Structure 1
Amino acid sequence: MSEKDEKLEAQLREAVNPSYEGGRRRIVFAAAGNAGGNAPMGWLASMSGVIAVHATDGLGAASNFNPTSLSGESFPTLGRDIQSNWKETGKRNPPKPIYLSGTSFATPIVAAIAADVLEWARWNLKMTNDQKKLLYSAGYMKKVFAKMMQPRFNIHYIQPWTLWERGWDNGCGQVKSVKDVLMEVIAS
């Protein structure tokens, strides 16, 4: 590992440390990897304090390229067959639609779900300063994600719509008030 890599790793370890007090709290998300059972989870995704993201298709089925989770924790969401546009280098033709897959495509989706939860909580919950500190932690967000997860074959995958109250449930009676869920998680 180069000196530059060691410095980056030290900074990342400090940033994801739950006792880190220097500056704003951070929640770090990392793509778990795409080698299936042929390689371990990536080093950043396997760090304590990091939320490792796995991928599913649009119906919640696990992607076969997901690595095995060492901790048993898995936070999968859509990461397979994501439509994009691709312009071939040096060609003047319009971009062609292509479909991309990987845990690196699921990762920004999970981060956006977390950002939505955090922003909603910031504006709608009356919290103490200690509760606000909890809000921006990987441990807290993992608990929130657990409240959004539904079983699908051998995995549970994140279904954010189960958290948001819409006057309907998903047929399973799973939708609860987002306020109730977040306050329950903060209290635990």
Structure 2
Amino acid sequence: MAYQFFRAMSSTKWLNDLNDSVRRSASRHRPAIAVHTPVRVAVIDTGVHIDEDTLLLKYDGRLKECRSWLEDANGDAGQMMLSPADSVGHGTHATSLLLQATQHTPCEVYAAQVFDAQEGHDRGAASQATQVAITRALKYAITVWKVDIISMSFGYQNAIPAIEEVIDEYAGKVIMFAAASNCGGNAPISWPARHPNVICVFATDADGNFYRKNPTPQKGTNLAVLGTSVGGCWPPALNDGGHLQHKSGTSCATPIAAGIAGVLMNLMRARKSAYLESLPTVSKLWNEKKKLKYEQHLRTLGKPWGMNAVLGLMTEERQGYDYIAPWRLFDNDNEDRDIVKEILSKLEPL
């Protein structure tokens, strides 16, 4: 019990350190932050049930919309959730972790309900209704909510053609993260995490040690981030009236990774004007070329391969996984201008 308590405290400190490093980095930046479009992230899961006071006081009202793709009694799906809805708790926990990871970032969060059971979290086959729900939710998140990032804490043994079609169609327009699985060495990485246009996420503890239920790492990059004993919101009706549960798994690591990606994307959008103004002025044409180049790099950052490369600035190879420690980029006494420069140099060859 004491060990579990220590692990939970360590995970809380990890998230606090993440937010403190982002806040300190921003405070070192002197010029005004440019007005920009907030980063938008969708969580595709079992829905969300976070009380209004917590949303407003702790998460600044950043959860913008919740919508369900479960069919109601009339056979309708895609309806607005007029009241909090999550009969499992999994989606609530994932959404709150994303909100925690972006505490000091103007990140707008959207929740899509596509499950009402544990389906998708044990590598079983997806029902036809679930396949349709996920497909529709993904399309809606991309085309209507216009999200930049999608977090998917679910996985299946086999690829699902309809969902794969959506992933391939929008691969260059949105970044998708998915949980690797919690089957250890007994099964390979789940789908869609093993899809080449999806960023696969493994889990670690707060010290960067790999989670014992991670699947075997693949050749190449194996991004891993905090995912053990992480405290997040849980529907009180499923928790004896309590609002908090500590959970472990790649499902927990996935929204945290998505949140860190949101922090990076926001940084690059917010510092664009200040960074360009800090460069020496050679000519009007030269300045315009620099602006166009920056915008090109921003577009590359919004693609899975671009974000993968930039996340590499935060990683350290550890036990076969690439452990993401955000302070490796944010806590090196660099001002934001220097961080932007590092990110641009990483995107330059892509």
Are the equivalent residues in 2 in contact too, given 1:44–1:50 (CA < 8 A)? Answer: yes
Question: Aligned match of 2:296 in 130, 139, 164?
Answer: 130
Residue 176 of structure 2 corresponds to residue 31 of structure 1? no
Quote the residue 1:46 is aligned against.
194
Aligned position for 2:118: none
Which runs of 5 or more residues in structure 2 are unaligned? 1-125, 133-159, 277-290
Following TM superposition, by how much is the alpha carbon of 1:50 offset from its aligned partner in structure 2, in angstroms? 0.9
Structure 1 counterpart of 2:321, from 155, 171, 186 = 155
Q: Which amino acid aligns with 2:298?
A: K
Consecutive unaligned residues in structure 1, runs of 5 or more = 19-24, 169-175
- Matched residue SS, 1:41: coil
The aligned residue for residue 347 of structure 2 is 186
Question: What are the Cα deviations for residues 98-131 of structure 1, in whole angstroms up to 9, with x where unaligned?
Answer: 4210101001101110111011101213442422
Instruction: Name the structure 2 match of 1:22.
Output: none
CA RMSD of aligned residues (A): 2.5
1:12 to 146, 167, 185: 167
Structure of larger gyration radius: 2
Structure 1 letter corresponding to 2:179: A
User: Separation in 2 of the partners of 1:45 and 1:57?
Assistant: 20
Confirm or deny that 1:105 pairs with 2:252.
Answer: yes
Structure 1 counterpart SS, 2:342: helix
The 4+ residue runs of structure 1 with deviation greater than 6 A are none
Once the 2 structures are TM-superposed, how far is the Cα of residue 47 of structure 1 from its aligned partner? 0.5
Aligned-pair CA distance for 1:70: 3.0
What is the identity percentage for the equivalent residue pairs of Structure 1 and Structure 2?
Answer: 30
User: For residues 7 and 56 of structure 1, do their structure 2 counterparts lie closer, same or farther at Cα, with a shift above 3 Å needed?
Assistant: same
Q: Which has the higher contact order (CA 8 A, sep 6+)?
A: 2
Provide the C-alpha distance between the structure 1 equivalents of 2:208 and 2:214, rounded to a whole number of angstroms. Answer: 13
SS, match of residue 44 in structure 1:
coil
Deviations 1:29-57 (A, max 9, x none): 00111101111111100001111000000
Matches within 5 A, 1:134-149: 134-149=300-315
How much has 1:165 moved relative to structure 2?
Answer: 4.7
How many pairs does the alignment contain? Answer: 172
Normalized against structure 2, the TM-score is what? Answer: 0.45
Equivalent residues in 2 for 1:85-124, closer than 5 Å? 86=234, 87=236, 89=238, 93-95=240-242, 97-124=244-271
2-structure distance, mates of 1:96, 1:132: 38
